[in-house]
């Protein structure tokens, strides 16, 4: 998968060289290209922002550098176009489902906004030749899109075949498989600072362990994310209807 990230703080994306994403890039599973938006400015101050039409506080990212950056990263007459992700708190919510969808794309490009965001015509222009998704990583406001891109790239990259050592660990996670939160996990020692690992996990009985984990998942989901439990219940009811 090819990933292009355009930002005025390319150093922010240095974390993409680390851990599993970095390893995936070194092994050739990912082709990561980070670009400095200011490379497409021509004034002495390398200006990327201006005051908003209509007035109001803050600055808006100018369309010209963004247009040139997009044309350089993905030439309009090129043989293929990326799917462009524009992080914004006003976007559709990022989710594990969207991460799976993006993991199936051969090429993703990310446009990191700053200030009050990017002139809205940039997404409209890009949308004339590539799929554009404006995506939010949560209901809060960050200073820029870089951290949001790190979040999305990590969530997507770990789904690519070969990135995670044991692909089975993807199936049992929170927000995957049955849609419930994952059960609590433990490792050695069996007793630590007066806290014991639940006996059932030491029993060696895989059926009983699976049942206990499922109950823990249900309990956790009910307590922490009743919205997910309701969705799980609806899906289970639909499955039963389909089977009858």
Binding site for ligand SAM (CB under 6 A): 87-90, 112-114, 116-117, 136-138, 140-145, 148
Distance CA 7, CA 3 (A): 13
Instruction: Between 138 and 162, name the residue whose CB sits nearer to ligand SAM.
Output: 138
CB of residue 88 to ligand SAM, shortest distance in Å? 5
Instruction: Between 108 and 180, name the residue whose CB sits nearer to ligand SAM.
Output: 108
Residue nearest to ligand SAM (CB): 113
CB of residue 122 to ligand SAM, shortest distance in Å? 11
Determine contact, residues 158/198, Cβ cutoff 8 Å: no
Instruction: Between 30 and 148, name the residue whose CB sits nearer to ligand SAM.
Output: 148
Can you say whether residue 17 is alpha, beta or left, with left for phi > 0 and alpha for psi between -120 and 50 degrees?
alpha
The vertex-75 CA angle with 74 and 81, nearest 5°, equals: 45
Determine contact, residues 212/198, Cβ cutoff 8 Å: yes
CB of residue 90 to ligand SAM, shortest distance in Å? 4
CB of residue 149 to ligand SAM, shortest distance in Å? 8
CB of residue 69 to ligand SAM, shortest distance in Å? 14
Whole-number Cα distances in Å, 226 to 52, 217, 222? 41, 12, 5
Instruction: Between 38 and 219, name the residue whose CB sits nearer to ligand SAM.
Output: 38
Task: Write down the residue that tokens 């639940």 correspond to.
Answer: 198
Instruction: Between 30 and 112, name the residue whose CB sits nearer to ligand SAM.
Output: 112
Helix (H, G, I), strand (E, B) or coil at 29: coil
């Amino acid at each position: 998968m090819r990933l292009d990230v355009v930002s005025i703080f390319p150093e922010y994306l240095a974390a993409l060289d680390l851990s599993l994403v970095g390893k995936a890039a070194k092994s050739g599973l990912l082709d990561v290209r980070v670009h400095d938006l200011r490379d497409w400015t021509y004034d002495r101050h390398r200006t990327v922002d201006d005051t908003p039409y209509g007035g109001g506080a803050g600055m808006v990212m100018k369309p010209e550098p963004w247009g040139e950056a997009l044309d350089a990263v993905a030439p309009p007459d090129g043989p293929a176009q990326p799917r462009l992700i524009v992080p914004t708190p006003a976007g559709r919510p990022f989710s594990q489902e969207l991460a799976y969808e993006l993991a199936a794309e051969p090429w993703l490009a990310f446009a990191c906004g700053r200030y009050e965001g990017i002139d809205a015509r940039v997404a409209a222009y890009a949308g004339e030749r590539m799929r554009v998704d404006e995506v939010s990583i949560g209901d809060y406001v960050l200073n820029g899109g870089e951290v949001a891109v790190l979040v999305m790239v990590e969530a997507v990259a770990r789904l690519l075949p070969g990135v995670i050592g044991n692909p089975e660990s993807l199936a049992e996670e929170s927000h995957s498989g049955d849609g419930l939160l994952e059960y609590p996990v433990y490792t050695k020692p069996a007793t630590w600072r007066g806290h014991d690992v639940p006996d059932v996990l030491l029993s060696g009985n895989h059926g009983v362990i699976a049942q206990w984990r499922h109950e823990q998942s249900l309990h956790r989901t009910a307590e922490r994310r009743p919205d997910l439990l309701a969705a799980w219940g609806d899906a289970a009811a639909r499955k039963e209807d389909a089977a009858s």
